[in-house]
Chains A and B, each alone.
Chain A
Amino acid sequence: MERLVAMAIAKPREAVTPGQIRLICLRDVFAYAYRRVPHLQDAEDITAEVFAAAVSKIPSHVHEPRAWLIGIARRKVADHHRRSGRRTVSLSDKFDIPVPGPEREVEQRADVRKLRDLVNLLPEDQREALLLQCVENLSLEEIGVVMKRSIPSIKGLLQRARQTLFDQGSAYFLEHQEVR
């Protein structure tokens, strides 16, 4: 499966097949949605909606299949929040946090929560660009496709996102100098 996903990602300028769409949906689209909606079921529903929308009219050539699908997912997530009456998109708070051992568990959970809170405080566009780059592992070009912006604009957003994050979380990053 990993190999097929890698193939799907490595050939961005070729025709995309329903099988590739399914693999990208199961891995990337689901992860994207899961991070942005409060319930697992909602994330699965959005993934299924993205899959249905994508396979119903596959363009003859897709430049960036993963970015194309995450772009659809971004709109579906926004629709979801609009339907549930939330104007701004905040990040879902239900992550499986990997911790090395029980003795440090409490400390690390608090630590991770602090970082998530800091990311949540970022303006929406900056937060989205930062997460697309750092968490979804998208390239600048792919982020541009998702957010419908030029590459210089994305670069600017990312710079501002990192700066705002470090400014607002100066105490946190003082403790975690390795991150800067």
Chain B
Amino acid sequence: MERDPLAEKLQDAFSVPEARPELTDRLNKMATLTPKRKLPLFRVMLLGVALLAVVGFAYNVFFGRRGEAAIAMIPADATLVVTVDLVPSQAQIPAFKRIADAMKREGLDHQLEDSAGSAIGSTALGKELRPYLQHNMAFATWNTADGKSSEVLLLPVSDKSQVSALLQKHGSKVDQSGTVSYKIGEQNRLMVVIGDYLVSSESAALLRRVQLTHDGAEKPVAQLPQYIEARNALPSDANLMVFVSPQGLSEAGKAAGTQMTRSAKWMCFGAAIRDNGIRIDFRSPLEKDMVPPAGAGFLDPNFLAKVPTGALGIVAVADPANTLEWVQKGLGKEKGAAEGIQAFEKESGISVTQDIVPALGGDLLIGVYPGASQKPIDLEAVLLVDSNNGADPAALATKIRTKIESDSAKDPKPVKFTRSQYGGAEVWAMDAAATKEISDSAKEAGMGAKSPCLALIGKAIIMASSKPMMFTAIRAYRGTASLSTDPAFAAMSSQMTDRAQAATLISIHRVLDRMRPEFEKSKNMLISADDIVNVFGGENDGLVISGYVLGDQMVGTAFLPLDYDRAAKGIKSMSSPPRMSDPGSATK
């Protein structure tokens, strides 16, 4: 084909990233919900169905998500459902292989097998059952009227007749309305094989209900539309899933002393193994009275460009005024809260609705940075409140400063602020005496000199723990060396939800690296300082938590980077006795 230089140039200019795995998951789920087309020949259709049945059965037995599949046997009124599926999806195979290799190398595979064995009992039955159990499970609980709870555990088995025979051999028969289970030894635990699962509970009545659900006589959790909605919010290959029913949430709320009404939605949590760490998804219905008004702002996509590069971590909240109103709404229901707010307003002369809320409509960012001394304890901090969405934090800051000055005017040591200019910003700091006092206290605590100050840049404000930090922050706000040019944070931000309202990004590597000298001093450790510093990923990885409110639900994701090889070494070192002091065996 003839070369087209314009096309090449345009392709460069309009290159796009690959579709994210979330979109692949979404289309896969849609594909499963789409009715299949009718095939033209009845015979072909029959053949296809038979083939699918065989393949499906084989897949289900050897590779399937049988922990999740067990939800079809759990009666619909369960309050908590937990599933574990440790059979990897296609995309997870490399990560699972790395984990398996690392565990084998460190000899942890035997420990895992042993702990799995002890979970099912170290009795003769437990040992004999172990070969038939797989890497999946489901667990569900029900709250009973007397405030107690009963639970059921479902373990898929590879040979149900062998497992049934073992139960008969080791247990004594208990018949509950036709469901025959076996009481094992002196324990109160009953076991029965239902479908392809070994089902265990202390309640014979509950085992009977699982049997009825399996037989189609009771509705399972799997058929509840609200559960299906919650399930669809999690990745299709989540390895751990936790679901809490509206009733479960309500009862948990009561136990915590709140009486708020929940929506009819299920809460869900999922964790999935990924190549470089663990991805967590979370979705929770909000109390009906706490649903924020529509139109709450999202974080400015360029929020990293407003604070300096080199952070250890950053917390960002969009439109904190909205959150404040939301919290105030919730507090309004608490006894004495309104009086408390009134007292605060009277004492401070600051109105929550007229001063604080208009000040906090933009983005609020808090960044933590290494101090100049490089000691782990020496940290600097920057707080920025910008003027997005017409917010005016500068007006509030000025009001607070004036109030402090006027209130302290009659004191023997009145508080005074000094004003200076830097980079087009108005910088306010406490007078020299107060600054020295703060700085001396900081030094006594092992930190470097601190001189808290505030800058007004237009309507935005920046607070910093020291003047050098403030100057760096002002330069970053003006576009020089901001966090958006920091490779670690630029990479981390790609793990955030698209429209986050709140986010926390932490470079665990940088935090641990500051403690490296301490790790290197510990000569009795079985893991090197380098392994500790890099266990949660390398220089460009970090913990990312982000979320937003979607209608009446809170949606969140988190990504915890993990170097599986180093993590296995860490687990091994924790489970081994500490090395005796040996001057020649410094960490390598």
Residues on A close to B: CB < 8 A? Answer: 18-19, 22, 25-27, 30-31, 34-35, 39-41, 44, 47-48, 51-52, 55-56, 58, 91, 95-98, 112, 115-116, 119, 130-131, 133-135, 162, 165, 176, 178-180
> Please, which residue of chain A has its CB at the minimum distance from the CB of B499?
A41
B4 in contact with A134 (CB, 8 Å) = yes
- A134 close to B6 (CB less than 8 A): yes
In chain A, what residue has the closest Cβ to B24?
A: A26
B15-36 CB mask vs A (1 if < 8 Å, else 0) is 1110110111011101100100
Q: Who on chain A is nearest to B28 by CB? A: A22
Shortest Cβ distance from A165 into B: residue:
B6
Do A131 and B498 have beta carbons less than 8 Å apart? Answer: no
Contact partner of B14 (CB less than 8 A), chosen from A18, A95, A176, is A95
Task: Please report which residues of chain B, range 1-57, place their CB below 8 angstroms from some CB of chain A when the two chains form the complex.
Answer: 4-7, 9-17, 19-20, 22-24, 26-28, 30-31, 34, 37
> Is the Cβ of B12 less than 8 Å from the Cβ of A30?
no
Q: Shortest CB–CB separation between residue B44 and chain A, in angstroms?
A: 14
Contacts A58-B37, A134-B6, A162-B6; A48 near B13 (Cβ below 8 A):
no
Provide the bound-state CA to CA distance between A84 and B34, in Å. 29
Residue from A35, A39, A176, A179 within 8 A of B16 (CB atoms): A35
- With known contacts A26-B23, A48-B23, A51-B27, A98–B14 Cβ distance under 8 A: no
Query: Which one of B7, B26, B34 lies within 8 Å of A55 (CB-CB)?
Result: B34
A96→B15 contact, CB < 8 A: yes
10 shortest interchain CB distances as A-B pairs: A134-B7, A41-B498, A134-B10, A30-B19, A34-B16, A31-B16, A26-B19, A112-B13, A179-B5, A55-B34
Query: Which residues of chain A are within 8 angstroms of B26 by Cβ–Cβ distance?
Result: 44, 48
Cβ B9 vs Cβ A18 within 8 A: no
Bound-state CA distance A95–B11 (Å) is 11
Complex: A30 Cα to B10 Cα, angstroms: 18
List of A residues within 8 angstroms of B27 by Cβ: 22, 25-26, 47-48, 51
Q: How far is the CA of A115 from the CA of B499 in the complex (A)?
A: 29
A-B contact pairs, 29 of them (CB 8 A): A22-B27, A22-B31, A30-B16, A30-B23, A34-B17, A35-B16, A48-B23, A48-B27, A48-B30, A52-B30, A52-B34, A55-B30, A55-B34, A95-B15, A95-B16, A96-B17, A97-B12, A97-B15, A112-B12, A115-B9, A115-B10, A133-B7, A134-B4, A134-B11, A135-B10, A135-B11, A178-B5, A179-B9, A180-B6
Min CB distance A154 to B, Å, is: 15
Given contacts A41-B499, A44-B20, A44-B26, contact A18 B31 (CB under 8 A): yes
Task: Pick the most buried of B23, B28, B498: most chain A CB atoms within 10 A of its CB.
Answer: B23
Q: Using Cβ atoms and an 8 Å threshold, which residues of chain A touch B22?
A: 44
Chain B residues near A133 (CB-CB < 8 A) = 7
B4, B14, B498 pick with most chain A CB within 10 angstroms = B14
Question: Size class of B's contact patch?
Answer: 20 to 34
Q: A22-B31, A131-B14 are in contact. Are A47 and B9 (CB under 8 A)?
A: no
Contacts of B11 in A (CB 8 A): 134-135
Give A77 to B35 CA distance when docked, in angstroms: 26
Bound Cα distance from A96 to B499, whole angstroms: 19
Interface residue SS majority, chain B: helix
Instruction: Give the distance to chain B from A19, nearest Cβ to Cβ, in Å.
Output: 8
**Closest A-chain residue to B6, C-beta based?**
A179
Question: Measured between alpha carbons, how far is A176 from B19 in the docked complex, in Å?
Answer: 32
Contact between B30 and A47 (Cβ–Cβ < 8 Å)?
Answer: no
**Which of B4, B5, B20, B34 is A56 in contact with, Cβ under 8 Å?**
B34
Question: How far apart are the CA atoms of A41 and B4 in the complex, in Å?
Answer: 32
Report whether B13 and A95 are in contact in the complex, using a CB–CB cutoff of 8 Å.
Answer: yes
B19 touches A27 (CB 8 A): yes
Residues of B within 8 A of A131 (CB): 10, 14
Interface contacts beyond A134-B11, A176-B9, A179-B6: sample of 8 additional A-B pairs, CB < 8 Å, sorted by A? A18-B34, A44-B19, A44-B20, A44-B22, A47-B19, A58-B37, A95-B14, A95-B15
> Residues of A contacting B30 with CB < 8 Å?
48, 51-52, 55
Q: A26-B19, A26-B23, A58-B37 are in contact. Are A40 and B10 (CB under 8 A)?
A: no
C-alpha gap A84/B23 in the complex (Å): 22
A41 and B498 alpha carbons, distance in the complex (Å)? 7
CB distance from A80 to the nearest CB of B (A): 15
Q: Report whether A40 and B498 are in contact in the complex, using a CB–CB cutoff of 8 Å.
A: yes
Let me know if A47 and B23 touch, CB within 8 A.
Answer: yes
Residue of A nearest to B497 (CB): A41
B327 to chain A, nearest CB (A): 27
**Which residues on the A side are within 8 Å of B16 (C-beta)?**
30-31, 34-35, 95-96
Task: Point out which of B9, B13, B30, B498 has the most chain A C-beta atoms below 10 A from its C-beta.
Answer: B13
Please determine whether B498 and A97 come into contact, CB atoms closer than 8 angstroms.
no
CB distance from B506 to the nearest CB of A (A): 23
Interface residues of B in 430-450 (CB under 8 A from A): none
- Contacts A26-B27, A48-B27, A179-B5 given; indicate if A98 touches B15 (C-beta within 8 A): yes
Residue of B with least CB distance to A30: B19
**How far, in angstroms, from A131 to B31 measured CA to CA in the complex?**
30
Check if B13 sits within 8 Å of A115, measured CB to CB: yes
- Are B498 and A39 in contact, with the CB atoms below 8 A? yes
Chain A residues with CB under 8 A of B10: 115, 119, 130-131, 134-135
Alpha-carbon gap, A178 to B4, bound state (A): 10
User: A119's closest neighbor in chain B, by CB?
Assistant: B10
- Give Cα A178–Cα B23 distance, bound, in whole angstroms: 38
Nearest opposing residue in chain B for A177, CB measure: B5
| Chain B residues closer than 8 Å to A162, beta-carbon distance | 6
As a 0/1 sequence over residues 465 to 506 of chain B, the CB contacts with chain A under 8 angstroms (1 = contact) are 000000000000000000000000000000000110000000
Beta-carbon contact of B498 and A116 below 8 Å: no
Q: Closest CB of chain A to B493's CB: distance in Å? A: 12
- B contact residues around A97 at 8 Å (CB): 12-13, 15
Q: Which residues of A sit under 8 angstroms from B31, Cβ to Cβ?
A: 18-19, 22, 51, 55
A142 CB, min distance to chain B CBs, angstroms: 15
Considering the chains assembled together, what is the distance between the CA atoms of A96 and B9 in angstroms?
Answer: 14
* Residue of A whose beta carbon sits closest to that of B40: A60
Closest to A48 in B: B26
A119: B residues at CB distance < 8 A: 10, 13
In the complex the two chains form, what is the Cα distance from A31 to B64 in whole Å?
32
